[in-house]
Amino acid sequence: MKESTHSKKQFIISYSLLYIGLIIVSIFLICLKGISHIDSIYIVNITVDIFGMLVGYVLFISYDVDVQKTGNTSRFFLYLLHTTFIALFTDMGAWLLQGEPELVWLNLIDNTIYYLCMPTVCYFFWRYLRVYFRVKNHTTAVVEKIMFVGLILALLAILINMFTGIYFTVDAAGFYVRSKWYILSMLYAFVTSLISGTIIIIFREKLAQHQIVSLILFVLTPTAAGIFTIATYGLSVCYGIIMVVMLMMYCFLNIEESRDRALVARELTLAKSIQANSLPNEFPPFPDRHEFDLYASMDPAKAIGGDFYDFYLIDEDHLYLAIADVSGKGIPAALFMMSAKTVLFNNAMALHSPAEILRKTNEIICSNNKEEMFVTVWIGILEISSGKLTAANAGHEYPVLKKTDGEFEIIKDRHGFVIGGMNGVKYKEYELQLEPGSKLFVYSDGLPEATDLKNNMFSINRMLQSLNRHREGTPKEILDGVREDVNKFVAGASQFDDLTMLCLEIKSM
């Protein structure tokens, strides 16, 4: 995580220096040549180029501070931005190099780079549209390959032009001269713009009117500029207009999309709060009961998770304990979790047999489980007066027990089938005798499967070692100690799965 943040800072600093550096170089070159030595029409072009570069830098900074930006859409927007910025810089350079015979070679290279930018911009815009509209089918995949090959051929032809002059040359006096085949250099851009325009028309229902306008303008701008410059020479404001249209795109597409993502993030935060409040979270949970101590925690891998724990007094002498892990993550898992938790609660209040609670819960969930989700569950009912714990396991992790003067050890109980997996399943229950000083620990698979940066798992063995290292502590101290050991082990790696733990200590009977 730290390495990722460091790389991001380096990225921002590097490109900021590049953008600012090219703008400063542009101004320096203008001053070096002198305004009086530049034709008035060239001054107009250069002014538009400098303005476009300033807009480009503002866009880059806006992109950087946009905390809601995502993956490929932003990636291709950045590619568009960089390429357009380079085109503006080389266009400005081309006008300054006009009529400089000693710099013919530099003029040729500068114009070649300028020519390379147009097909590249059109290709990146197509990729941007494909990602933005989430177009994924066989036809577009084939078109994608054809367009990529076409791009390579278009770029090669431009590079070959340096030696053949198919599209343009720079004469001995240092002036740029087009050939009669100049229009061929625009062919790829025209075709790609036509395909991009078709994509916008096909998916127009997904966009508001102002969003359609910004995209259509991006398609029409290079196309119209290309047609205009075929018959006209001396005015090149195409990339300056493209940069302004990109500013519109950013406002109408990226910012609006960011706003929508921010709303979703806000709703997820609210959902996380609702889910957290649905789990028992006041400790000690039963301050007037001195026979036992209890603590539990749930750390979701995403904003909201599918794990849950539960505990409550069925009556004065019976304590219900449960821990569960729903298949999947995120909102679907959280909704299924709330449903399963409620069904388990209702059945536990009516039935005092863990096996029957699981059987009835499975029956209810299977009757309306079109999404075919499932949940692993461990249930225990403690008879407080005797210390007898009756438990049943529906595909969940093995519980861990520490006897009065012993260490934590795995209890390999019999696993039944997961809840929601198949109707008609019967579950077996078993008994554990707990004495004063005994401690019971149950958990979800997010604990032993916590992974470090090298994809090593925390494992059951490390979990047992951690538990025994903290075995003399209270349930809260044990869970805090285990969580700390997990954090040290993963060393900054992202949490892949929900991590839920519950610990019960018998104090007296």
Complete DSSP assignment for 159-186: HHHHHH-SSEEE-TTS-EEE-TTGGGGG
User: What backbone phi and psi angles, to 5 degrees, belong to 236?
Assistant: -130, 90
Domain 2-262 in CATH 1.20.1070: yes
Residues 6+ apart with CB under 8 A from 477: 470
Average pLDDT of the chain, as a whole number: 86
Question: Taking residues 195-213, what's their average pLDDT?
Answer: 82
The residue among 328 and 466 whose pLDDT is bigger is: 466
Contact predicate 8/16, CB 8 Å: no
Task: Look at 60-64, 78-82, 194-198 and tell me which has the smallest mean pLDDT.
Answer: 60-64
Question: Taking residues 325-338, what's their average pLDDT?
Answer: 81
pLDDT over threshold 80, residue 348 = yes
SS3 category, 438 = coil
Q: For residues 158 and 175, what is the distance between their CA atoms, to the nearest angstrom? A: 18
The residue among 398 and 211 whose pLDDT is bigger is: 398
pLDDT over threshold 80, residue 344 = yes
pLDDT over threshold 70, residue 288 = yes
CA distances from 297 to 19, 265, 281 (A): 49, 23, 8
pLDDT over threshold 90, residue 502 = yes
The residue among 8 and 48 whose pLDDT is bigger is: 48
pLDDT over threshold 90, residue 154 = yes
The letter for the amino acid at 380 is G
Residues 6+ apart with CB under 8 A from 471: 402, 407, 408, 439, 478
Spans of all domains in the chain: 2-262, 283-506
Segments in 165-305 forming alpha helices (H): 187-202, 209-231, 238-249, 255-278
pLDDT over threshold 60, residue 39 = yes
Which of the given ranges, 95-104, 153-162, 200-209, has the highest pLDDT on average?
Answer: 153-162
Per-residue confidence (pLDDT) for residue 29, from 0 to 100: 85
Domain 283-506 in CATH 3.30.200.20: no
pLDDT in tens, 86-144: 999 999 988 888 888 999 999 999 999 999 999 999 999 988 888 888 777 777 788 88
pLDDT over threshold 80, residue 207 = no
Question: Taking residues 155-161, what's their average pLDDT?
Answer: 95
Burial of 479 (0-12, 13-18, 19+ CB in 10 A): buried
Percent of the chain, pLDDT > 70?
Answer: 88
pLDDT over threshold 90, residue 334 = no
Q: For residues 12 and 20, what is the distance between their CA atoms, to the nearest angstrom? A: 12
Confidence of residue 268 (pLDDT cuts 50, 70, 90): low
Per-residue confidence (pLDDT) for residue 167, from 0 to 100: 92
pLDDT over threshold 90, residue 271 = no
pLDDT over threshold 50, residue 257 = yes
Per-residue confidence (pLDDT) for residue 251, from 0 to 100: 77
Per-residue confidence (pLDDT) for residue 364, from 0 to 100: 94
Per-residue confidence (pLDDT) for residue 307, from 0 to 100: 86
CA distances from 218 to 148, 187, 196, 201 (A): 20, 17, 10, 14
Per-residue confidence (pLDDT) for residue 236, from 0 to 100: 76
Q: Are strands 388-394 and 415-416 parallel, antiparallel or unpaired?
A: parallel
Per-residue confidence (pLDDT) for residue 426, from 0 to 100: 93
The residue among 443 and 176 whose pLDDT is bigger is: 443
Contact predicate 504/439, CB 8 Å: yes
Per-residue confidence (pLDDT) for residue 120, from 0 to 100: 95
Confidence of residue 3 (pLDDT cuts 50, 70, 90): very low
Q: For residues 76 and 72, what is the distance between their CA atoms, to the nearest angstrom? A: 6
Question: Taking residues 212-227, what's their average pLDDT?
Answer: 77
Percent of the chain, pLDDT > 90?
Answer: 47
Per-residue confidence (pLDDT) for residue 1, from 0 to 100: 42
Confidence of residue 369 (pLDDT cuts 50, 70, 90): confident
Q: What pTM was computed for the model?
A: 0.57
